[in-house]
């Protein structure tokens, strides 16, 4: 009887965990055979015997193939949540910011909260969302953006950092105009496109240690083929819902057939706008996500 193991593997090239079913322990990344892995971090997370694996019913009696359509990437799990991840370290799951805006008369007419999700050790895709409004919220609006965490900086002379477009940190060979302390550098991962399989331009490379949850060897990539960028101001990287008009105390389903991957350091900005005369109201959001790990340790 054949035994199949689900292995959790650290891909050193992509600096992420991936999972794969196999009889023998993999020696390369299952997502890309050219990627290297750290064998010391490989663990078995599930084991099944051949008799437990049901591979029947793949076709009807007349030979028609049965197909299951899903937005869930391989080895990921579907989860519903109204919370982000704790920012104590990049390996945390859940325990973060509540996905809700509560407006009371006298508050700012536009309010926002940030939802952070740890994705460098826990690959995460956003699939769908549900917005629930309470109170006389007809005509009020809700917006959901993806934005980067920002890097603090000061002006400087002859430094190793410059700015492109006033927002993007680029390398400078001793002739830069901004100064950034090492501990203030915030790396933002450019995720691989689900359409092209390619990563967007990145100006920086770095090594990530999943044991200490820290980066090291942060270095410029002058060919713009790095994995990371740094931003000094908040820019909109993706709009999931743009000034969505609420229709009263109900729930709106924001349906989609595809999924969007979140890179490390990319956070969700949830904005509520009070329309008309000031009044009490609230709006919360529930996300459908696909994640490698959905269990808080």
Summarize pLDDT for 284-293 with one digit per residue, the tens.
Answer: 999 999 999 9
Condensed to tens digits (0 to 9), the pLDDT of residues 152-199 reads 999 999 999 999 999 999 999 999 999 999 999 999 999 888 788 788
> Quick one: 225 and 254 in the same domain?
no
The closest of 202, 198, 189 to 266, measured between CA atoms, is 189
Phi, psi (rounded to 5 degrees) for 53: -95, 115
Q: What average pLDDT does the structure give for the chain?
A: 90
- Domain span at residue 170 reads 154-229
> Quick one: 27 and 82 in the same domain?
no
32 vs 119 pLDDT, higher one: 119
Query: Which residue, of 209, 229, 249, is where some domain finishes?
Result: 229
**Percent of residues, the chain, with pLDDT higher than 90:** 67
> Quick one: 84 and 113 in the same domain?
yes
Q: What is the pLDDT of residue 56?
A: 53
DSSP annotation of 89: S
> Quick one: 128 and 9 in the same domain?
no
Q: Is residue 70 part of a domain?
A: no
Q: Is residue 183 part of a domain?
A: yes
Whether residue 122 has pLDDT greater than 60: yes
- Tell me the range of 32-36, 42-46, 120-124 where mean pLDDT is highest: 120-124
Q: Which of 16-30, 200-214, 255-269, 283-297 has the lowest mean pLDDT?
A: 16-30
Q: Is residue 30 part of a domain?
A: yes
Indicate the number of domains in the chain. Answer: 3
> Quick one: 142 and 239 in the same domain?
yes
Q: Is residue 66 part of a domain?
A: no
Q: What is the pLDDT of residue 283?
A: 98
Helix (H) or strand (E) holding 111: strand 110-115
Cα separations (Å) of 92 from 75, 201, 226, 280? 19, 28, 25, 34
263 vs 3 pLDDT, higher one: 263
Report the CATH number at residue 114: 2.60.120
Whether residue 140 has pLDDT greater than 70: yes
> Quick one: 159 and 203 in the same domain?
yes
The closest of 101, 139, 126, 128 to 284, measured between CA atoms, is 101
Q: Is residue 196 part of a domain?
A: yes
Rounded Cα distance, 244 and 281, in Å: 15
Token pair, residue 109, equals 């007419």
3-state secondary structure of 123: coil
Query: Which residue, of 183, 200, 229, is where some domain finishes?
Result: 229
> Quick one: 247 and 128 in the same domain?
yes
> Quick one: 94 and 209 in the same domain?
no
Contacts of 39 (CB under 8 A, 6+ apart): 25, 27
Token pair, residue 159, equals 């430094």
Q: Is residue 281 a contact partner of residue 137, using CB atoms and an 8 Å limit? A: yes
> Quick one: 215 and 241 in the same domain?
no
DSSP annotation of 73: P
**CA-CA-CA-CA dihedral for 214, 218, 221, 222, to nearest 10:** 150
Quickly count: other Cβ atoms within 10 Å of residue 240's Cβ.
20
Q: Is residue 61 part of a domain?
A: no
Residue-wise DSSP of 172-235: EEEEEEEE--GGG---EE-PBPTTTS-BPPBSEEEEEETTTTEEEEEEE-TTSB-SEE-BSS--
> Quick one: 7 and 38 in the same domain?
yes
> Quick one: 172 and 25 in the same domain?
no
* Rg of the chain taking only CA atoms, in angstroms: 22
Compute the average pLDDT of residues 76-95. Answer: 96
Q: Is residue 58 part of a domain?
A: no
Q: Is residue 160 part of a domain?
A: yes
Against a cut of 0.85, is the pTM above it? Answer: no
Whether residue 65 has pLDDT greater than 90: no
Whether residue 146 has pLDDT greater than 70: yes
> Quick one: 222 and 187 in the same domain?
yes
Rounded Cα distance, 53 and 51, in Å: 6
């Amino acid at each position: 009887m054949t035994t199949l193991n689900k292995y959790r593997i650290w891909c050193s090239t992509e600096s992420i965990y991936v999972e794969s079913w196999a009889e023998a322990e993999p020696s390369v990344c299952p997502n890309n055979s050219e990627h290297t892995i750290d064998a010391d971090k490989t663990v078995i997370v599930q084991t099944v015997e051949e008799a437990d694996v049901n591979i029947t019913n793949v076709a009807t009696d007349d030979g028609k193939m049965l197909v299951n359509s899903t937005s869930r990437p391989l080895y990921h799990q579907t989860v519903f949540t109204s919370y982000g991840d704790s920012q104590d370290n990049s390996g945390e799951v859940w325990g973060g910011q509540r996905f809700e805006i509560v407006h009371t008369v006298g508050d700012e007419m536009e309010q926002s909260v940030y939802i952070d999700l740890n994705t460098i050790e826990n690959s995460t895709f956003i699939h769908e969302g549900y917005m629930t409004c309470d109170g006389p919220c007809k005509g009020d609006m809700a917006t959901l953006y993806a934005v980067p965490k920002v890097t603090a900086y000061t002006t400087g002379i002859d430094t190793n950092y410059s700015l492109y477009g006033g927002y993007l940190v680029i390398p400078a060979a001793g002739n830069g105009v901004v100064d950034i302390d090492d501990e203030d550098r915030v790396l933002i991962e450019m995720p691989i496109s689900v359409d092209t399989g390619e990563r967007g331009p990145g100006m920086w490379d770095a090594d990530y240690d999943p044991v200490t949850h820290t980066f090291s060897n942060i270095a410029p990539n002058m060919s713009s083929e790095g994995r990371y960028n740094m931003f000094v101001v908040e820019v909109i990287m993706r709009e999931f819902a743009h000034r969505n008009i609420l229709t009263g105390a109900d729930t709106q389903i924001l349906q989609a057939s595809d999924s969007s991957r979140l890179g490390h350091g990319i956070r969700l900005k949830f904005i509520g706008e009070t329309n008309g005369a000031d009044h009490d109201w609230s709006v919360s959001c529930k996300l459908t996500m696909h994640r490698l790990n959905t269990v808080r340790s």
